[in-house]
A = this chain, B = another copy of it.
């Protein structure tokens, strides 16, 4: 197989296919786009394309059509399994629908978030799915956006798990399991989003049932020190003033659990714990603690569907997806 002269390393274009197939440019375009065309023509074009290894150039197409089949996903990090799972599912949904995903990681940095917004527009992504903590999301109105857990005004749909209901479920479960003095440990309660509804649901339920409960609310970015201080002050010789705790997320729970056990309090013997998120452990596939499970897959799918189908029609729609309680060892069964 001699190939003496270095082929000009130029990928084949529609023009090449047209020449190869002996048809015109427009015809090739039609074939590539599934637009009806004479059967014999279609065959010749497809063969020619095959022979040449032709693939349509998405950049050229995007320039013409203003559709890039590309959606940007903005997340704070991938180090947290909840975010990772979300990304995994979003990419899967987008792929199924023939879209690509540009992944952007902000590390919780508002400036990085703004840079990303700019990049998204510049890159002509067809839409943006964002889970962000910055309070001001400034981006062109014409760009379809869907957020997770965060409200940016009525024009921007937000999908989340049913945090309020989840909070209620946690309270209900703890009471049902015999807890009488409840604690609620919430970090990130200042964010004007969905997540703070977890504590609202929990509190409302307790109040309605006349249950004894103490909320400790911390701001996003705070240290969890106040939690530990409180626990310390309310534990005497391995016996605690409380017997049930609802934590605003599983990772908080895990740290609290370690702290309790370290102080001679047994879980779930003395104190029962329920968290929020419900991402299975990667090694065992089991939940790491008793928890309110967010339907990550449905959240991802819903976000993608709203973004792609809803257009601006679904604007203002705030979707809460149902959660469920799952046992994971930190409550009695």
A residues contacting B by CB (< 8 A) are 9, 11, 53, 55-60, 62-63, 68, 70, 73, 77-81, 84-85, 87-88, 91-92, 95, 100-105, 107, 112, 118-119, 121-124, 140, 142, 250-255, 258, 281-284, 288
Contact = CB atoms under 8 A, between A and B. Distances in A.
27 contacts: A9-B142, A11-B142, A55-B118, A58-B122, A58-B123, A59-B63, A59-B124, A63-B63, A70-B123, A73-B103, A78-B85, A80-B282, A81-B81, A84-B84, A87-B103, A91-B103, A91-B104, A92-B105, A95-B104, A100-B102, A101-B102, A101-B103, A101-B104, A251-B283, A254-B281, A254-B283, A254-B284
A262 to B, nearest CB: 12
A112 B96 CA distance: 11
A252 B283 CA distance: 7
Contacts of A142: 9, 11
A87 B88 CA distance: 11
A250 B281 CA distance: 12
B63 A283 contact: no
A183 to B, nearest CB: 18
Most buried by B among A68, A104, A122: A122
B55 A122 contact: yes
- Tallying the copies of this chain within the complex gives 2
A95 B105 contact: yes
Given A59-B68, A63-B63, A84-B81, A105 B124 contact: no
Contacts of A56: 122
Nearest to A289: B283
Contacts of A255: 283-284
Contacts of A100: 102, 104, 119, 123
Contacts of A11: 121, 140, 142
A282 B122 contact: no
A283 B80 CA distance: 9
Contacts of A79: 81, 84-85, 88, 282
B80 A78 contact: no
Given A56-B122, A59-B68, A255-B284, A84 B91 contact: no
A204 B140 CA distance: 60
Most buried by B among A9, A88, A102, A288: A88
B282 A58 contact: no
Most buried by B among A81, A142, A254, A282: A282
A92 B105 CA distance: 7
A77 B89 CA distance: 10
Contacts of A92: 105, 107
A42 to B, nearest CB: 20
Given A9-B142, A104-B95, A81 B282 contact: yes
Contacts of A88: 77-79, 105
Contacts of A123: 58-59, 70, 100
Given A57-B63, A78-B84, A252-B283, 20 more contacts: A55-B118, A57-B122, A58-B122, A58-B124, A59-B62, A59-B123, A59-B124, A73-B103, A78-B78, A78-B85, A81-B84, A87-B87, A88-B105, A91-B104, A95-B105, A100-B119, A101-B103, A102-B102, A250-B283, A254-B281
